[in-house]
Chain A
Amino acid sequence: MTSLRRALIALAVLALALGLASLALILSSEHVSPRGLAATLTLLAGWGFVGTGLFAWDRRPGNRTGPLLTAIGFTWFFRALEASNNSVVFTIGALGLTLPYAILIHLLVTFPSGRLETRLQKSLVGVAYFITVLMQGAWLFFADPAREGCESCPQNAVMIGDAGIGEAISTGQALLAIPLIAATVVAVHRRWRRSSAGERRALTPVLATGGLAFVLLLTQLTVGQAGAEDVAVVPFVAAFAVFACLPFAFLIGLLRSRIGRDEEIRSALTAENVQLTAELRKMVEELRASRARIVEAGYAERRRVERDLHDGAQQRLVALTMNLRLARDRLAADPEGTADLLDEALEELAAATSELRELARGIHPAVLSDRGLDAAIGGLADRSPVPVDVLETPDGRLPESIESTSYFVIAEALTNVARYADAARATVRVAQTNGVVEIEVRDDGVGGADPEGGSGLRGLADRVAALEGQFEVRGEAGEGTTVRARIPCG
């Protein structure tokens, strides 16, 4: 059982006990009349408000309607103390006579959230508590029950002064309460008119019952102020009866406001949806950009291959053709010159062969497919102008795409080491652990590489990202550079 539910059960037991105590007080009262009606209405209102309040509190712990309803119920038992024949208890009870109405205004203008949000809500509720707590407290010091028509009431235990002041305060309370209640009724009506059909389902039972109770109370106060105390009893009893029904109206309204809660959930879902959509859109943008870069890198690679072929092997072969043709023409007339031409042709041929080999390796290293990453990395290390220590390579073969990407990461990183790092040594490590291949190329050079700077590094990052891996280049100036890629592997 949750601690909230335990507390709610304790409150229910307390309300039960206070209700019985109130019943005893009222039935034994010498000044309450008629006792039966007063006791019935007190129990109906007290237990009704506490019961529905606790139920609402339990069902909607984050909503303040439950606590407010419960509070009204307890004030009802508080004001029942006024039925006591003991002077002190009677006086304490008199302090709480008007309090339920203030909490009811609080509840009514803030339903269904129970939270004071607008300035109008705060003003109405502030004035209500001012009348029912501060003014009521002040009134108590000057109130004379006998003078107010209750001969059988006990003495006011805290009476300190002129009963005339008490009457004046009482009149002041009524004169403030009339516009307050009128404003509350207007505010509630306006609120209802502006609500959507779904909201009205929750608001109607509450606002109609509450509004009716206050209209009746307003009538009673107005008629009472006009001096017709006897006539005022009728609307007072009616208001009291409507008041007793109010907690059930709140309960119906609160349960119906589930619709409102659905809307809260829907709006939260919508917000989450919007955020997810934005994230998704960003990811799609990134994917689109990286796809475009990969395609562009493919074209750039082709242009490079074409240029390398054109400027390298092709030029050598053109020169070779011309030299061979010349040698053929000169063969008879100038055998010595022809031998020189042929030597030159052989040199061109060797250079062309070497350039074609390099080019082919740049497109795809055959050794990688034939003998695996370990042999291919060995070749890269051998050809690197900067001494390279190969610290670790995986034992078996890896999927082709991973071997290939690992190879090009290492090749590009070592090329950068040779070109820019001014390093004395470099290390290469490829480790396969927990389904991840981690590739690391580290040098002891000048550092300060910018991962966004070169198309080579960005191309590598895209290649690694295409395999759902991560790529990073680290190295503050003066601390060497570390290129690291992590690629998930089956």
Chain B
Amino acid sequence: MALLKRLAEQDRPALAFTLDGEPASGLLGDTLLTAVLTRSEHLRGSDFSAEPRAGFCMMGACQDCWVRLGDGQRVRACSTLLEAGQIVSRDPGRQL
């Protein structure tokens, strides 16, 4: 189930990407956060209890929307625009 609901601007070109190894698609102009959360419910697991997190501030401050790209770098999903063919994976988080 999706977390976010699209209300406007839906007539945009689709962009294919890979989410946790599965094919997925978003729209041109989506952030990674939007592309992921319009088709699923979380972005990462928390660092001490592996609880699901889906970002919070959407303005690059809370650092709770990090996802990993194909080249290994971690980026804030709220402030990174989706690109065609991107490989996105979600860290499961860690438990104590």
A and B associate in one complex: no
Query: Which of B's residues lie within 8 Å of A, judged by CB?
Result: none
